[in-house]
């Protein structure tokens, strides 16, 4: 089925709400929102943002865990013609301030943090207090911060006030703003880790984002009435686009999961009668450990990983009676690239990420950019509608990865004889912790801000729980005694939990290679046996 001719997210929401107003698309057990509810609440948020002075193209950030308020705020941002900048609930103040500053965000919407976290307090520690009418001295472009009702902080706006102010903006004016959005306008700037250590802002447009995740949902067979828990954070590309956006496009009932734990999995399956489940291999291993699954409604499993054990797939299909298990490959810069299909045998789903999706071209090239023969390994390069516009305010870094229309992913892959893409390695040094990309250079830069370290080198090593884990090898500053546990504790206070090194190892010097660069391979070799033990 071809993607409907919506073109933009605001038009998609209006079309869905007018033709299927009573269909439920959000249900977290406490809040249930129909398409008509979502349209109305999003419109109210949009009018509030317009009252605050948000203009088309302005950047508006949302910082909080998955919940219904996140959903309505996101659609409100899009209705206002603004560009959404998602911040992970796991972000610490330093990280959030960097993203807000880099994107020139003008308005920040915060939610209720996990474990009582107050996001505005975290940000104050990194960006200072109010100054010259701005909420934070270190963020001069940030004009307004919207906080939960319970938070009291000078210079902020609570949701009730936002909606009250928005009531003075005419509905016709707000509707004109929403319908003026064009398919090639930006809808998101997603923060992504990079090998340079500085997160980059990936620019995604309305039209190609809708098409990419419509096609994803078509292959997955996400359909009206499916009950779909969105476990990945909305600040993550998968959670936002393959979760929140795909659910509304397909009229599936999403359950936003604020904080996922092993016990919650069985509650979702048994009590919420979920039909579609997406997550890393560890999620499905946990499912198979359950001694009594009882009757369930689960029919589709989606596992986005470079490789999935074939035995895991067989056991899931046999024990759960699933209709299909899908594997896929995508990246923020290239949207959805390849997916397995329902008819693929277990071996294909286990060993590959399937064939390119319609409208996307994939090649495997060598160091000179020459296409390698079938079966040969090389860098995965991608061309098609799903390729990002570029990195926000970074034309140089954009030109490094998009050359002659081809996105150079930095991932190493190969095609099997059936045209299925296997992702076999990463040219970049990124490692993946529980499904989250981690840039060693970014973690190293953060660690050096602790104050007691002269050098830091971070590597990813295999880990049975999270796929990979970070190990930090650190050299103390002269005359300073470094406590590894203290470094880990500092990291937990100042960076997202998945970036926190699993181990800190104090060394006198870091190994270097013949070029004088830190020898990360030697560090990985040193860490691997200890990690396995």
395-410 confidence digits (pLDDT tens): 999 999 999 999 999 9
User: Which pLDDT score, from 0 to 100, does residue 305 have?
Assistant: 62
User: Which pLDDT score, from 0 to 100, does residue 361 have?
Assistant: 98
Residue 514 reports pLDDT greater than 60: no
The domain spans of the chain are: 9-203, 261-426, 431-532
User: Which pLDDT score, from 0 to 100, does residue 312 have?
Assistant: 77
156-to-115, 153, 186, 292, 467 alpha-carbon distances in Å: 22, 6, 27, 49, 40
Residue 124 reports pLDDT greater than 70: yes
User: Which pLDDT score, from 0 to 100, does residue 531 have?
Assistant: 66
* Mean pLDDT lowest among 231-240, 384-393, 425-434: 425-434
**CA 38 to centroid of chain Cα atoms:** 22
* CATH C-level class of 431-532: alpha beta
What's the pLDDT band for 8 if we cut at 50, 70, 90? Answer: very high
* CA-based nearest residue to 61, from 188, 205, 233: 188
What average pLDDT does the segment 34-56 reach? Answer: 98
CATH topology assigned to domain 9-203: Rossmann fold (3.40.50)
User: Which pLDDT score, from 0 to 100, does residue 512 have?
Assistant: 79
* Mean pLDDT lowest among 87-96, 206-215, 437-446: 437-446
User: Which pLDDT score, from 0 to 100, does residue 403 have?
Assistant: 96
Residue 187 reports pLDDT greater than 90: yes
* Phi, psi of 167, deg, nearest 5: -65, -15
Residue 137 reports pLDDT greater than 70: yes
What average pLDDT does the segment 24-38 reach? Answer: 97
What average pLDDT does the segment 310-335 reach? Answer: 87
Place of tokens 């960076």: 495
Between residues 507 and 290, which one has the greater pLDDT?
A: 507
What's the pLDDT band for 30 if we cut at 50, 70, 90? Answer: very high
Percent of the chain with pLDDT over 70: 95
Residue 506 reports pLDDT greater than 70: yes
What average pLDDT does the segment 435-444 reach? Answer: 85
Exposure string of 454-465, with b = 16+ CB inside 10 Å and e = fewer, is ebbbbbbbebee
What average pLDDT does the segment 380-391 reach? Answer: 97
What average pLDDT does the segment 435-440 reach? Answer: 84
* CA-based nearest residue to 41, from 78, 8, 93: 78
Residue 271 reports pLDDT greater than 90: no
Burial class of residue 204 in the structure, from the number of CB atoms within 10 Å of its CB (0-12 exposed, 13-18 middle, 19+ buried) = buried
What average pLDDT does the segment 362-370 reach? Answer: 94
- Residues 279 and 277: their CA atoms lie apart, in Å, by 7
Same CATH topology for 9-203 and 261-426? yes
Write the CB contacts of 217 (distance below 8 Å, at least 6 apart in sequence): 242, 246, 249, 250
245-to-179, 209, 210, 256, 424 alpha-carbon distances in Å: 18, 9, 8, 12, 29
* CA-based nearest residue to 442, from 245, 197, 263: 197
- Residues 280 and 286: their CA atoms lie apart, in Å, by 10
Residue 438 reports pLDDT greater than 90: no
* Mean pLDDT lowest among 141-155, 272-286, 438-452, 510-524: 510-524
pTM for the model = 0.87
User: Which pLDDT score, from 0 to 100, does residue 205 have?
Assistant: 98
Using an 8 Å Cβ cutoff, are 33 and 25 in contact? yes
**Mean pLDDT value across the chain:** 91
Q: Using CA of residue 77, residue 79, residue 83, residue 85, what is the dihedral sign?
A: positive
User: Which pLDDT score, from 0 to 100, does residue 196 have?
Assistant: 52
Residue 261 reports pLDDT greater than 90: no
User: Which pLDDT score, from 0 to 100, does residue 296 have?
Assistant: 85
What average pLDDT does the segment 178-184 reach? Answer: 98
User: Which pLDDT score, from 0 to 100, does residue 441 have?
Assistant: 80
Residue 423 reports pLDDT greater than 60: yes
Residue 166 reports pLDDT greater than 80: yes
**CATH number 3.40.50.12780 given to 261-426:** yes
What's the pLDDT band for 303 if we cut at 50, 70, 90? Answer: confident
What average pLDDT does the segment 457-461 reach? Answer: 92
């Amino acid at each position: 089925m071809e993607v409907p001719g919506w073109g933009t997210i605001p038009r998609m929401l209006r079309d869905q709400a007018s033709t299927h107003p009573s269909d439920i698309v959000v249900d977290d057990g406490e809040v249930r929102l129909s398409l008509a509810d979502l349209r109305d609440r999003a419109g109210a948020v949009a009018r509030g943002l317009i009252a605050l002075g948000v203009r088309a193209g302005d950047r508006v950030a949302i910082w909080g865990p998955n919940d219904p308020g996140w959903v309505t705020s996101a659609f409100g941002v899009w209705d206002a013609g603004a560009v959404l900048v998602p911040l992970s609930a796991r972000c610490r103040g330093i990280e959030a301030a960097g993203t807000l500053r880099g994107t020139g965000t003008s308005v920040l919407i915060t939610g209720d943090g996990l474990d009582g976290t107050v996001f505005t307090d975290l940000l104050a520690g990194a960006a200072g207090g109010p100054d010259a009418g701005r909420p934070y001295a270190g963020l001069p472009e940030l004009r307004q911060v919207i906080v939960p009702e319970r938070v009291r902080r000078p210079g902020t706006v609570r949701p009730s006030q936002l909606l009250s102010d928005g009531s003075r903006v005419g509905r016709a004016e707000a509707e004109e703003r929403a319908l003026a959005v064009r398919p090639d306008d930006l809808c998101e700037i997603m923060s992504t880790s990079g090998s340079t250590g500085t997160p980059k802002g990936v620019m995604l447009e309305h039209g190609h984002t809708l098409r990419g995740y419509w096609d994803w949902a078509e292959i997955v067979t996400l359909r009206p009435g499916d009950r779909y828990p969105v476990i990945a954070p909305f600040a993550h590309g998968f959670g936002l686009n393959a979760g929140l956006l795909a659910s509304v496009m397909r009229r599936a009932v999403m359950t936003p999961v604020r904080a996922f734990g092993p016990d919650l999995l069985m509650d979702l399956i048994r009590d919420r009668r979920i039909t579609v489940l997406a997550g890393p291999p560890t999620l499905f291993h946990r499912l198979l450990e359950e001694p009594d699954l009882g009757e369930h409604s689960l029919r589709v499993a989606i596992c986005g990983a470079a490789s999935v054990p074939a035995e895991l797939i067989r056991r899931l299909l046999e024990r759960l009676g699933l209709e299909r298990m899908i594997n896929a490959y995508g990246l923020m810069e290239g949207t959805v690239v390849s997916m397995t299909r329902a008819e693929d045998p277990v071996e294909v789903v286990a060993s590959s990420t399937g064939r390119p999706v319609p409208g996307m071209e994939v090649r495997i090239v060598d160091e000179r950019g020459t296409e390698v023969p079938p079966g040969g390994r090389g860098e995965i390069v991608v061309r098609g509608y799903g390729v990002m516009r570029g990195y926000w305010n970074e034309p140089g870094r954009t030109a490094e990865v998009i050359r002659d229309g081809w996105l150079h992913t930095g991932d190493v892959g190969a095609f099997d004889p059936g045209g299925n893409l296997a992702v076999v390695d990463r040219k970049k040094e990124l490692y993946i912790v529980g499904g989250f990309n981690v840039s060693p250079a970014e973690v190293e830069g953060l660690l050096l801000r602790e104050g007691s370290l002269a050098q830091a080198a971070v590597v990813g090593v295999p880990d049975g729980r999270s796929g990979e884990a970070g190990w930090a090898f650190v050299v103390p500053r002269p005359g300073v005694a470094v406590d590894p546990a203290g470094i880990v504790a500092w990291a937990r206070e100042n960076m997202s939990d998945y970036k926190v090194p699993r181990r800190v190892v104090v060394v006198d010097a870091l190994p270097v290679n013949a070029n004088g660069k830190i020898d990360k391979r030697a560090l990985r070799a040193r860490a691997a046996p200890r990690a396995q033990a």
